[in-house]
A and B are shown apart, each in its own frame.
Chain A
Amino acid sequence: MTEALKLTIDRRDGLAVIYTEGYINNQGGEEIARAAYELIEHGYKVLLLNLTGTKIINSIGISILIEIIEKMLEVEGRLAFCALTPTIEKTFHIMGLAQYASIYPDEGSAVAQIAL
């Protein structure tokens, strides 16, 4: 029915950006988690999820993002989001995610503020 979520990862100095394209449901969330945990294993403690290509997400997918936030807190790292649709951003605020993961309007402002 819907195409699988596509991920692109840009590894930079001290920061990795994960670009998503498509629906973040349970499979999509698991895909992001796999990528995030692999990056953490390779020493990345600052991750930015750029959701420019994601127009819809569901609560199961978001629950998996909460697992990633939990993992980042464990390793004293940081997860941030950028380029969310207004509805996804509103949903993150409804759930309280914004208390634990910063949200930026675009990648430029995110990178300028989150790089350790």
Chain B
Amino acid sequence: MNPRTPTREVTLILPMAPDMEIVASQAASALASFIGMSPDRVDEVRMAVVEACINAFEHSHATERKVDITFRLIGEAGAERLEIRVHDRGLGFSPAAVEEPRIEDKLKGDRKRGWGLKIIQGLMDEVEILSGSQGTTVVMSKSR
């Protein structure tokens, strides 16, 4: 079996509504626990999912106010890795153009926000942003 082949897949479609990120995080938590991740790593996945959902809710400018979240359990000998795709149908953006936030600048500046991607990248093993006119997909994964 190809090591990237998902052994199981779960898809959620959530409205962009207050606290829906918590629903996504609960699913992520259950699946991360299912593949045997330690509680601390489960918690990291949970927080990364919250951030990916909030980014979609806040910045996608999608007219279709929903996100598709696909959870894939991946591995040759049983599920060893959880891959999560958070997809919106928004306007897209250029990931390369996003300036990395720095606390020194945020403390002095008016805009304190803009931390989502940095947090996701810091908490997950691998992160890829696919973005274009069809929307944005954050692909992130973490091993157990």
B19 in contact (CB, < 8 A)? yes
**Chain A contact residues (Cβ within 8 angstroms of B): what range?**
20 to 34
B98 in contact (CB, < 8 A)? no
Partner of A87, one of B20, B103, B104, B123: B123
B78 in contact (CB, < 8 A)? no
Question: Known: A63-B113, A96-B102. Is A86-B46 also a contact (CB below 8 A)?
Answer: no
A99 in contact (CB, < 8 A)? yes
B99 in contact (CB, < 8 A)? no
B122 in contact (CB, < 8 A)? yes
Partner of A94, one of B20, B23, B107, B118: B118
B31 in contact (CB, < 8 A)? no
On whether the beta carbons of B25 and A96 are closer than 8 Å, the reply is: no
Q: Within B42-101, which residues are at the interface with A (CB < 8 Å)?
A: 43-44, 46-47, 50-51, 54, 101
| A residues less than 8 Å from B123 (CB atoms) | 87, 90-91, 94
The total of interchain contacts (Cβ-Cβ below 8 angstroms) comes to 77
Question: Known: A86-B40, A94-B122. Is A100-B103 also a contact (CB below 8 A)?
Answer: yes
- Against B, the Cβ 8 Å flags (1 = close, 0 = not) of A7-50 are 00000000000000001010000000000000000000000000
| A residues less than 8 Å from B44 (CB atoms) | 87, 90
Q: Within B102-131, which residues are at the interface with A (CB < 8 Å)?
A: 102-104, 106-107, 112-113, 115-116, 118-119, 122-123
| A residues less than 8 Å from B50 (CB atoms) | 56, 58
Q: Within A48-101, which residues are at the interface with B (CB < 8 Å)?
A: 55-60, 62-64, 66-67, 69-70, 73, 85-88, 90-91, 94-97, 99-100
The 20 listed contacts between A and B (C-beta, < 8 Å) are A1-B20, A1-B23, A2-B19, A23-B19, A56-B22, A57-B47, A58-B50, A58-B54, A59-B51, A60-B54, A60-B113, A62-B115, A73-B107, A86-B43, A87-B123, A90-B44, A90-B122, A91-B122, A94-B118, A95-B119
Seen from chain B, the residues whose Cβ lies within 8 Å of a Cβ on chain A are 18-23, 25, 40, 43-44, 46-47, 50-51, 54, 101-104, 106-107, 112-113, 115-116, 118-119, 122-123
Among all A-B residue pairs, the 7 with the closest Cβ atoms: A96-B103, A1-B19, A94-B122, A63-B112, A87-B43, A59-B115, A63-B113
